[in-house]
Structure 1
Amino acid sequence: MLTQYWIFQIILLFSFIVDNVTSDKNIKNVLPSNYVKEMRPSLNKSEPVMVDFSIYVVDINSINVEDMDFRIDMFVRQKWTEPRLRITDSIFEEGDDYVTLPPEFFDNLWQPDPYFFNSKVVQIAALTHKYSSVTLYRNKTVSYTARMHAIVACQMEFKNYPMDIQICPLYIESFSYNIKKVRFRWTQPGVTLNPELKLLQYHIGYPLQLDETNDYMQEKAENFSRLIVYFRFERHIGHHLIQTFAPSGLVVVLSWFSFYLGLDAIPGRVTLLVTCMLTLVTMFTGLKSDIPPVAYVKALDLWMAGCMVFVFAALAEFVIVKVLDVKYQSRKNMITDASRLIPMQMPPPNCSFIDKRANSVWDGSNIRFTQRHSATSVGSNPTSYFLDLSWIDHATGKKKILWEEIDRSSRLVFPALYVLFLVVYWPVLLFKNT
C-alpha cells in the first residue's frame, strides 16, 4: 500500500511539471521569433497605435494646501492591440477568452510609455511583489493593469477660502511617442470613483470632467497625445460655519451690549469691547495657520476684517460719547458756578448795565452786564459753541443730551449696518463660486 501511494504522488508531480512546461512553452510561442519589442504594433505604419485608458480611483488623501498637491491611489488600465502575437487555443482555459500572463511576459512586449505630467511622485504598489498584471485576449488585445500611488501637483486658488473650489487636473501623456505614433483615448467608463470614498474637508464633484487633447512640447518640438481628468474639490463650509463665522458673528453682537451700559459703568464697558477685539484678533491669528500665506486677500480676511471694524467702531463710539459727556459736565458745572456768583438783587429784566470804562463783567462791587443770556440749555448758544450738547425737545418738552442720543441711535444703526454687510458679503461670495 505504501508503495502504491508513492507511485501515485510521483505521477501527480510529473503531470504538474509537464503541464507547466507545456504552458510555458505555449506562452513563449505567443511571441514570434522575429518579434521586436522596440517597434510599434501597427499594421499601417502611417496610423498611430490607439491606447485605451481607464482609471479606478481607490482613495484620495493628504490634500496638502501648503505644498499644493494631493495623493491619489488608483488602478490604471491600458489596452492596445498587438497584431503580431500568435494566439492559440491551448493557452486559454475552457470557456475563457482571456489568459492572465506573468508580469515577466510584459517585459518582452512593446509597451506604451505614458507618464503623469504633473506628478511629483509615482510608484507601483508592492507587498511581496508589484501589484500589476498582464491579460491577453483572443482578439490579440493586451491589457496591463497596475495599482499606483501618485502625488499630484495642483495649482490651488484661495481667494474664496473657506468656500473655495479647487480644480485639480491629472495629465497623462506619452513621453517619447508623438501623436503620429501613439494616441491615447478614454474608454468607458473612463475614470470611476470608489463609492466609499470620503474626504474630511472636501466634497468631490461628480461626474468628473474628462478630456482628450494633444500638447505641444517645446523642448521636443512635437505634439504628444494627452489625457486629462479634472478633480473638483469643493470645501465643506460646515466646519468653518461652526468654528469661525458663527463665533465671530456672536462676538460682534456681544459688542452691541455696550450701548445699553451707561457711562457710569466705564470699566465694564471698556472690558467688554476690548475683550471682543482681542477675541477676534486671536481667532484670526489661529485661522492663518490653516492655509499658506498668499499675496492676495481671501474671503475669510474680508469677513474677519469686517467683524473687527464693527467692534472697533463700537469702541470708538464709546470714546466719542465719553468725550461729549465730559464736555457736557464741564459746561454744566461752569454755568452752575457762574450762577452762584450772582447777588440776590438782580436788575430788572429789561435793563442792561454797561460799563463804559471797561469791558469786564465785574467792576468793584457793582455788577456790569455786557449781554443778556437767554439760552434754555447748556451749550445751546450757537455763537459760543460749535455743537449743542443738550437741547429741549419742543415736541415732548423733555431735555435731551447728545451722548445719550448717540448711544440710543447706535443700538439701531450698528445692527442695520451689520445686516447690510451680511447681505452684501454672502450673495457675492456664493455668486463667485457658481
Structure 2
Amino acid sequence: MQRTDLLMRIRNYKDLENPPNYDSDKITVIEADLNVNSFDSINEASMDFKISVMLHLRWINHLITNQFTSVKSTLEYVEMDATKMGRLWVPDLYFPNEKRSSFFNVMTDNKMMRLHRNGTVDYTTRLALTLSCPMNLERFPFDKQTCSIKIESFGYTTSSLQLRWSNISENAVALNQTSLPQFEVTGRNYSHRERTHRFRGNFSYLQADFHLERNIGYYMIQMYIPSLLIVLLSWVSFWLNVNSVPARISLGVLSVLTITTQSSAVNASLPRVSYIKAIDIWMTTCLVFVFAALIEFSMANVLSRNSSSEKEFLQRIFRMTKIGRIEKEKNGNDVTIGLRRRRQSQTDGEKKDLIVNEFGNVNLKSEANEKAEKVEQNKGLVYASYLDIACRVLFPAIFAIFNIIYWVYFWKLTVN
C-alpha cells in the first residue's frame, strides 16, 4: 500500500506542479541524454532529416524526498507512466530546428517518470522528429554534411534553468546501429551553449551534431557510368561514313537528348541552388562532348557536300544543254552544233574530247585535266575524312584529361 499512498500524495502535492527552486534564486540544472534509435531519411530537396530518438532528462527536486519521508516509505524509487504523471512539472523544452514532431503513442504514450528517494527525477520520452538540416551541395555527390539536434528551454532563462549533457554516461549522445541508403555516419559531437533571443533574454540550449558522408556508389551506377557510356557512344559517328547522314544525325541527336534528360533527373531531387555542383560540372561536360560530336558531323557534311555540289552543277548544265540542243533540232532551227573529231597528239599522245556548249563553241579537255578536276572536286571529301580521323583521337584524349582532373580533385577533397 505504501506505493499507492506515495503516488497519491505526490500527485496531490501542488508544489510539484512548479519547477524546483521555484521560490528561491537557485538555478535548476537539467541533465540530458539522447539515444538515437534510427535515422529514417535525409532529404536534400527540403534540406531536412527524420530521426527517432529516446530523450532522457534528469533533475533534482528535494520536495520529492519530503513525500517519501512523510509516508515512511522504504522504496528507493517509484515509477509513473503518462496516465499517472498528471500535472507534475517537466521542463518546457523544444527543438529550435524542428519542422515536425510527435510522441510515440502505440499502446500508450511513450512517456515515463521515475522519482527517487533522494529527490532525483528521471523523465524519459520517445520522439519522432523532422529537423532542418542546411546543406552545402557544391561538392555533391562527394559532399559531407553535418545535421544537428538542438534542444532549448522555451520560457526559462539561464537565471532559472540551465541545460547540460549528462556526465554520468560517457556517451551522452548514443547512436544505435543505423544503416542509411546514401549516407554513412562518420562521427558525432555534442555541446551546450547559450544564446540571446530579442526581448526574451538568454537561454541555455544543447546541440548534438552528426557528421554524414555521402556514399558515391548509387551515383556511380545511376549517373556517372551511364553518362560516360553515352559520351563514348556519340563518338561512334566518327567511324561512320560521311554520307551516312541519317545514322549520324540520329546518333548525335539521341545522345544530346539522353544527356539532357539524365541531367534533369539528377537536379529533380535537389534544391534549386544558385551555385554549381560537382555533378553539374560532369553532366555539362558530357553534354558539351556529345553536342560537339554533332557539330563535328555538321562540319564534315558541309565539306563533303561542297565537293559533290560542284560536280553535280556541271552535270546539270551538260544535261540542260543537251536537252536544249535536241529541242532546237526538233523545231527545225539551223544551229551549228560543232564538230566531233579526234586528234592524235604526236608529242604526248593525249586524247581530247569535244564538249559542245549551247553557244556552239568547242572546248577541248584532256584526260589529264579531267583527272585534275576530279581531284579538286574530291578535296572537300578528303578534308571531311581527315576531320573524322582527327576527332577519333582528339575527343577521347580531351575527355580522358578531364576525367583525370575531375576525379583526382574531388577524391582529394573527399579524403581531406
Deviation at 1:257, TM superposition (A): 1.4
> Corresponding residue for 2:157?
178
Question: 1:262/1:23 Cα in 2 relative to 1: closer, same or farther (>3 Å)?
Answer: same
1:406 aligns with 2:396: no
Q: Is the 8 A contact 2:81 2:111 kept in 1?
A: no
Q: Is the 8 A contact 1:32 1:85 kept in 2?
A: no
Deviation at 1:160, TM superposition (A): 2.8
Instruction: Kindly report which structure 2 residues correspond to 1:138-217, keeping only aligned pairs within 5 A, or say none.
Output: 138-187=117-166, 188=169, 189-195=171-177, 197-206=178-187, 208-217=188-197
Report the Cα distance in structure 1 between the residues aligned to 2:22 and 2:397, rounded to whole angstroms.
Answer: 74
Tell me which of 263, 269, 272 is aligned to 2:242: 263
Question: 1:32/1:333 Cα in 2 relative to 1: closer, same or farther (>3 Å)?
Answer: closer
Deviation at 1:146, TM superposition (A): 0.6
> Corresponding residue for 2:59?
80
Q: Is the 8 A contact 1:43 1:83 kept in 2?
A: no
Q: Is the 8 A contact 1:31 1:85 kept in 2?
A: no
1:419 aligns with 2:400: yes
Instruction: Please give the root-mean-square deviation of Cα atoms over the aligned residues, in Å.
Output: 3.9
Question: 1:33/1:235 Cα in 2 relative to 1: closer, same or farther (>3 Å)?
Answer: closer
Tell me which of 89, 97, 102 is aligned to 1:118: 97
Report the Cα distance in structure 1 between the residues aligned to 2:185 and 2:376, rounded to whole angstroms.
Answer: 67
Deviation string, structure 1 residues 97-144 (Cα, Å, up to 9, x no partner): 443234456445443221111112222211342111111234321110
Deviation string, structure 1 residues 279-318 (Cα, Å, up to 9, x no partner): 2223233333323433333322222211111011111111
> Corresponding residue for 1:359?
none
Deviation at 1:253, TM superposition (A): 0.6
Deviation string, structure 1 residues 318-346 (Cα, Å, up to 9, x no partner): 11122222334456789999xxx9x9688
Which residue identity lines up with residue 199 of structure 1 in the other structure? L
> Corresponding residue for 1:428?
409
Structure 2, gaps ≥5 residues long: 317-339, 349-358, 365-371
Question: 1:203/1:91 Cα in 2 relative to 1: closer, same or farther (>3 Å)?
Answer: farther
Deviation at 1:83, TM superposition (A): 2.3
Give the secondary-structure state (helix, strand or coil) at the position aligned to 2:65.
Answer: coil
Which residue identity lines up with residue 290 of structure 2 in the other structure? V
Report the Cα distance in structure 1 between the residues aligned to 2:363 and 2:136, rounded to whole angstroms.
Answer: 83
Structure 1, gaps ≥5 residues long: 1-18, 350-361, 368-374, 381-387, 391-399
Give the secondary-structure state (helix, strand or coil) at the position aligned to 1:228.
Answer: strand
> Corresponding residue for 1:395?
none
Give the secondary-structure state (helix, strand or coil) at the position aligned to 1:205.
Answer: strand
Instruction: Kindly report which structure 2 residues correspond to 1:304-323, keeping only aligned pairs within 5 A, or say none.
Output: 304-323=283-302
Which residue identity lines up with residue 62 of structure 2 in the other structure? P
Report the Cα distance in structure 2 between the residues aligned to 1:287 and 1:139, rounded to whole angstroms.
Answer: 59
- Which is richer in helix? 2
Q: Larger deviation: 421-430 or 401-410? A: 421-430
Deviation at 1:177, TM superposition (A): 1.2
Report the Cα distance in structure 2 between the residues aligned to 1:344 and 1:307, rounded to whole angstroms.
Answer: 63
Give the secondary-structure state (helix, strand or coil) at the position aligned to 1:85.
Answer: helix
Q: Is the 8 A contact 2:20 2:60 kept in 1?
A: no
> Corresponding residue for 2:322?
none
Question: 1:321/1:365 Cα in 2 relative to 1: closer, same or farther (>3 Å)?
Answer: closer
Question: 1:423/1:219 Cα in 2 relative to 1: closer, same or farther (>3 Å)?
Answer: farther
Deviation at 1:423, TM superposition (A): 1.8
Which residue identity lines up with residue 412 of structure 1 in the other structure? V
> Aligned residue pairs: how many?
374
Tell me which of 11, 32, 48 is aligned to 1:69: 48
% identity of equivalent residues: 29
TM-score computed with the length of structure 2 as normaliser: 0.77
Deviation at 1:427, TM superposition (A): 3.0
Which residue identity lines up with residue 52 of structure 2 in the other structure? D
Question: 1:293/1:143 Cα in 2 relative to 1: closer, same or farther (>3 Å)?
Answer: same
Deviation string, structure 1 residues 190-230 (Cα, Å, up to 9, x no partner): 111221x2222222232x1212111111141x110011112
Question: 1:86/1:402 Cα in 2 relative to 1: closer, same or farther (>3 Å)?
Answer: same
Report the Cα distance in structure 2 between the residues aligned to 1:142 and 1:240, rounded to whole angstroms.
Answer: 49
Deviation at 1:29, TM superposition (A): 5.1
TM-score computed with the length of structure 1 as normaliser: 0.74
Question: 1:376/1:184 Cα in 2 relative to 1: closer, same or farther (>3 Å)?
Answer: same
